[in-house]
Amino acid sequence: MEIRHYCNATIPCTLEDHRGQLYYFPYKFGSVLAPEHWFANNKEDIYNLIENYWSYSIYVSVFYVLAVQIVQRAMESRKAFELKLPLIIWNSALAVFSLVGTIRMGEEFLHVITTRPLVDSISYAYDPHQPAAFWAFCFSISKFFELGDTMFVLLRKKPLIFLHWYHHAVVLVYAWHCTKEIVAGARWYVFMNYAVHTLMYAYYTVSAAGFRLPRLLSMVITSLQTIQMFIGVAISFIVFYYKLQGRVMQQTYENLFFSFAIYASFAILFSNFFNKSYLKEKEQKKIQ
Mean pLDDT (the chain) is: 93
Kind and range of the H or E element at 229? helix 215-244
**Are 170 and 60 contacting, i.e. CB atoms less than 8 angstroms apart?**
no
pTM: 0.93
Q: What is the pLDDT of residues 67-84, one digit of tens each?
A: 999 999 999 999 999 999
In this structure, the chain runs to a length of: 288
Predicted confidence (pLDDT) per residue in 106-142, tens digit: 999 999 999 999 999 999 999 998 999 999 999 999 9
The fraction of the chain above a pLDDT of 70, given in percent, is 94
Per-residue model confidence (pLDDT) at position 1: 47
HEC letters along 12-47: CEEEEECCEEEEECCCCCCCCCHHHHHHHHCHHHHH
Vertex 260: Cα angle to 258 and 263 (nearest 5): 105
Q: In what order do the strands lie in the sheet with 3-4?
A: 3-4, 13-17, 20-24
The residues spanned by each domain of the chain are 3-211
Q: pLDDT digit string (tens) for 213-269?
A: 999 999 999 999 999 999 999 999 999 999 999 999 999 999 999 999 999 999 999
Who contacts 219 (Cβ-Cβ below 8 Å, separation ≥6)?
274, 278
Q: Given a cut of 80, is residue 285 above it in pLDDT?
A: no
